[in-house]
Amino acid sequence: MAVAGSAVGLGNFLRFPGKAAENGGGAFMIPYFVALLLLGIPLCWAEWSMGRYGGRKGFNSAPGVFSVIWRHPLSKYLGALALLIPLGVYFYYIVIEAWCLGYAWQYAIGSESLMNGIDPAGYKQHFEQYTGQGSDGALFAGGISQTLIFILITFALNFYLVYRGLSGGIEKFCNIAIPVMAVCAVCVLVRVLTLGTPDPNLVDQNVVNGLGYMWNPQPEALLKPATWLAAAGQIFFTLSVGFGVIINYASYVKPKDDIALSAITASSVNEFFEVCLGGMITLPAAFIFIGATMGTVVAVGSSFSLGFAALPNVFAMMPGGQLFGFLWFFMLFLAAITSSLSMLQPVNAFLKEGLGLDKFKATALLFTVSSVGTLFVVYYSKGLSALDTIDFWAGEFCIVILALVQAIMYGWVLGTARGKAELDNGAQLRVPNFVQFVLKYVTPAYLIAILAGYLFAPSGDGKSSAFFERINDIMKPDNFVQRISILIVLGTLVMLWIMVYFAGRRWEAEGRYSKLDE
């Protein structure tokens, strides 16, 4: 439950429906399930296996674990990707976490902005104002906004919990909070599925068509490489695979613990929250109240916008809507805080293990770096451009790259025989042998095909690939913030590489590598 608690977060209830809407609903679901079966679950097992293997050899951070598996000076620099992703995602994840807390607060005090009956345009406008989408620096204009206060509270709370080492306590708390959230989500789901046609003037915007938007297969859309990349990225994001979190967490697991069962249980519980609850609530609700143009809400804002814009309409139509609105966003905040705490752990562990910093110094350095990243996202809030750009490069593109690195590392460097032996150690659940074949051949080939399609296959106008279309878009004069966002991600990577260089020298001097040969 603790691992499931960390896995369930904003990816399930906010990012998944947003990504599905952005990629045409039903067009997204086939690549999504293919990615779950061929990438997500197999790589989840691989990551747990590699993490515990590295942990048994005395390393807890991804650069260290990678060094154990591939005894080459470059391996630790590849491991830096597993630090960049959780840190980069944390820059903006914390902001969305704060929106959830802010919305919970507004429901708790009965704010009129969120309790106005059915008012799709009004709630969308409120969300845009609340998140400062009108202009850069909007949250700082005219004094400190409420949003900013909640961001500060959330940021401080995360670091307080990390410093005090209370994340375990929070996870225990989530053993209660996660089932409560499931019950709350089921109540909201029942309300969504019984909405019928709320506006008699818009007969097409009904619940059946909403479900159809999400589930009608669209085979013609399967030719878009960007959709396959988004689906793979979403699977990795939601399962925390290729994220750097599991490899660090698994390194602390005892040799006789059943990691095979832990991995698949966490994945399945997470998928239940995502597919059966998150998607079935937000996407049909957005279709009913916003219509098939909901993709524009995501395109103008971010993948995380849809739930905030659509769900207040649902709560307005529920008996006890204020209570459900409060419970929903507060539970979302709790689910998010376990995830954001787990994002800080990989870098925190590396700073202690690699640079020898004590608890205070490691936390202070992490606080400083993440403050800069988060402040950037908060200030450049126009159209949530900074948030969305970092989400794409760190939370989608880099995740797929790291997943490919890990698949090759597991299948071709560690070897499936050693990997399976590690996975089977202490396991009640025997992972079928064909999974090893999938991990060695299918997963890397699949990821290479997705990346090659995204980078090189003609898209849209038939000339440029989806990747170069994005690059061309970023290079337009108006997109200054997107360019700086990419520099923030690259700058963070360079900073981590420098730290990894010093960590490598330190491990060499301590003789930790030579101990591996004994």
Report the 10 Å Cβ neighbour count for 132. 22
Phi and psi angles of residue 478, each rounded to the nearest 5 degrees, phi first: -70, -20
- Which residue, 268 or 472, is less far from another protein as judged by CB? 268
Q: Does 272 bind another protein (CB under 8 A)?
A: yes
DSSP-based three-state secondary structure for 440: helix
Q: Which stretch binds another protein (CB under 8 A): 172-180, 203-211, 341-349, 492-500?
A: 203-211
- Which residue, 181 or 269, is less far from another protein as judged by CB? 269
DSSP-based three-state secondary structure for 251: coil
Separation CA 311–CA 281 (nearest Å) = 8
Q: Which stretch binds another protein (CB under 8 A): 134-142, 167-175, 264-272, 341-349?
A: 264-272
Closest contact distance (angstroms) between CB of 261 and another protein is: 6
* Binding residues for another protein restricted to 422-461, rule: CB under 8 A: 428-429
- Which residue, 430 or 483, is less far from another protein as judged by CB? 430
- Tell which one of 118, 193, 221, 264 touches another protein (CB under 8 A): 264
- Which residue, 257 or 469, is less far from another protein as judged by CB? 257
Q: Does 261 bind another protein (CB under 8 A)?
A: yes
- Which residue, 88 or 284, is less far from another protein as judged by CB? 284
Q: Which stretch binds another protein (CB under 8 A): 124-132, 265-273, 350-358, 439-447?
A: 265-273
Separation CA 411–CA 440 (nearest Å) = 4
Burial 372-392 (b: 16+ CB within 10 A, else e): ebbebbbbbbebbbbbbbbbb
Report the 10 Å Cβ neighbour count for 433. 10
Say if residue 460 is exposed, middle or buried (CB neighbours under 10 Å; 0-12, 13-18, 19+): exposed
Closest contact distance (angstroms) between CB of 286 and another protein is: 16
Question: Residues in contact with another protein, total (CB under 8 A)?
Answer: 24
CB pairs under 8 A, 24+ apart, for 272-276?
273/8, 273/12, 273/13, 273/182, 273/185, 274/11, 274/12, 274/16, 274/238
- Which residue, 258 or 424, is less far from another protein as judged by CB? 258
Q: Pseudo-torsion of CA 401, 407, 410, 416, nearest 10°?
A: -170
Contact 389, 485 (CB under 8 A): yes
CA quadruple 294, 295, 299, 305: dihedral positive or negative?
positive
- Which residue, 34 or 364, is less far from another protein as judged by CB? 34
Closest contact distance (angstroms) between CB of 272 and another protein is: 5
Closest contact distance (angstroms) between CB of 161 and another protein is: 26
Q: Which amino acid is at 482?
A: Q
Closest contact distance (angstroms) between CB of 46 and another protein is: 18
Burial 19-38 (b: 16+ CB within 10 A, else e): bbbbbbbbbbbbbbebbbeb
Closest contact distance (angstroms) between CB of 209 and another protein is: 7
* Binding residues for another protein restricted to 82-111, rule: CB under 8 A: none
- Tell which one of 276, 401, 474, 484 touches another protein (CB under 8 A): 276
Q: Which amino acid is at 108?
A: A
Residue whose C-alpha is closest to residue 341's, from 55, 10, 94, 172: 94
- Which residue, 89 or 280, is less far from another protein as judged by CB? 280
Closest contact distance (angstroms) between CB of 265 and another protein is: 4
Q: Which stretch binds another protein (CB under 8 A): 42-50, 99-107, 271-279, 344-352?
A: 271-279
- Which residue, 273 or 324, is less far from another protein as judged by CB? 273
Q: Does 355 bind another protein (CB under 8 A)?
A: no
- Tell which one of 7, 27, 29, 245 touches another protein (CB under 8 A): 29
The three-point CA angle 144-150-155 to 5° equals 110
Closest contact distance (angstroms) between CB of 198 and another protein is: 18
- Which residue, 207 or 377, is less far from another protein as judged by CB? 207
Phi and psi angles of residue 465, each rounded to the nearest 5 degrees, phi first: -80, 170
Q: Does 33 bind another protein (CB under 8 A)?
A: yes
- Tell which one of 24, 26, 54, 321 touches another protein (CB under 8 A): 26
Q: Does 34 bind another protein (CB under 8 A)?
A: no
Q: Pseudo-torsion of CA 358, 362, 363, 369, nearest 10°?
A: 160
DSSP-based three-state secondary structure for 517: helix
- Which residue, 3 or 332, is less far from another protein as judged by CB? 3
* Per-residue binding letters, 370-409, with another protein (x by CB under 8 A): ----------------------------------------
* Binding residues for another protein restricted to 209-248, rule: CB under 8 A: 209, 211-212, 214-217
Strand partners, 465: 458
The answer for residues whose C-beta is within 8 angstroms of residue 429's C-beta and 6 or more apart is 258, 260, 261, 264
- Tell which one of 139, 275, 310, 493 touches another protein (CB under 8 A): 275
| Interface residue list for another protein (CB under 8 A) | 26, 29, 33, 208-209, 211-212, 214-217, 258, 261, 264-265, 268-269, 271-272, 275-276, 280, 428-429
